[in-house]
Amino acid sequence: AQSVAQPEDQVNVAEGNPLTVKCTYSVSGNPYLFWYVQYPNRGLQFLLKYITGDNLVKGSYGFEAEFNKSQTSFHLKKPSALVSDSALYFCAVSRRTLTFGKGTMLLVSP
Amino acid sequence: EAGVAQSPRYKIIEKRQSVAFWCNPISGHATLYWYQQILGQGPKLLIQFQNNGVVDDSQLPKDRFSAERLKGVDSTLKIQPAKLEDSAVYLCASSLSTVRGATTEAFFGQGTRLTVV
């Protein structure tokens, strides 16, 4: 069975500082990996994906993620956080179905 | 391009009543998902359709939940009878057909917030 672990319930960062939201996965075969963001009372919004190729993938709003096969990780990163980045972030892994982690709340302080 | 449409946005029902949610996926998307998201948790897959066939419904409580996807387009999720623990947001999503056996990125609707009292 496939699974996703997001070890941090909440990440706090000051505006302008770099941010990292952690994700590890477990799946048979090559993984397809995704990050989504959820704002209050909204559905999930796709940020970026890794299918194959370059281990560093770039997505929406300046976010990027680094795929590390040996560590089975897919951490979300941004060089300079904005207050408006504050939201709930979900990592997901796909083979036959799409499985989500429990989410990490990102709080960016002014 | 129109997104995934869901209705209603909000629903309040009493326990033991029935409720139905509707979803219209993005045009051309063969894969349709229904997820349940309880407050403070990640989305849990209830059922996944590929066209009008079921790919996975292993976490669907089949004694009370049912779903169908008529003609491989719109879908309806029904709960009968509802329990208090069914209070959650029900998310519908769609994606293009699988690539090499794996699903591509899914696009989500706004969700239906169900409160069972």
| Rounded distance between C-alpha atoms, residue B104 and residue B97, angstroms | 7
Strand partners, A57: A65
CB atoms within 10 A of CB B12: 12
* Residues B32 and B24 sit within 8 Å (Cβ to Cβ): no
What 3-state DSSP class applies to A69? coil
The DSSP 8-state label assigned to residue B15 in this structure reads T
Mutation target among B92, B94, B105 for the A interface, most CBs of A within 10 A:
B105
Mean confidence (pLDDT) of chain A: 94
Mutation target among B103, B107, B112, B113 for the A interface, most CBs of A within 10 A:
B103
| Section B72-88 average pLDDT | 96
- Number of folded domains that form chain A: 1
| Cβ distance of A90 and B42 shorter than 8 Å | yes
The CATH number that applies at residue B83 is 2.60.40.10
B17-42 pLDDT, tens digit per residue, is: 999 999 999 999 999 999 999 988 99
Chain A CB contacts of B59 under 8 Å are: none
| Section A25-48 average pLDDT | 90
What are the phi and psi torsion angles at A61 (to 5°)?
60, 25
Tell me the pLDDT band of B45, cut-offs 50, 70 and 90. Answer: very high
Strands A87-94 and A73-78: unpaired
Chain B CB contacts of A90 under 8 Å are: 42-43
What percentage of chain B reaches a pLDDT higher than 70?
A: 94
| Cβ distance of B102 and A34 shorter than 8 Å | no
Tell me the pLDDT band of B116, cut-offs 50, 70 and 90. Answer: very high
The CATH number that applies at residue A99 is 2.60.40.10
- Number of folded domains that form chain B: 1
Nearest CA in chain B to A103: B42
* Residues B49 and B66 sit within 8 Å (Cβ to Cβ): no
In a domain, residue B56? The reply is: yes
Range of the domain at B89: 13-93
Tell me the pLDDT band of A74, cut-offs 50, 70 and 90. Answer: very high
| Cβ distance of B91 and A97 shorter than 8 Å | no
Is residue B60 pLDDT above 80, yes or no? Answer: yes
A87-98 pLDDT, tens digit per residue, is: 999 999 988 889
Residues 2-31, chain B, touching A (beta carbon < 8 A): 4
Mean confidence (pLDDT) of chain B: 92
Chain B CB contacts of A93 under 8 Å are: none
What are the phi and psi torsion angles at A49 (to 5°)?
-145, 155
Using the Cβ of B33 and the Cβ atoms of chain A, whether some distance falls under 8 Å is answered with yes
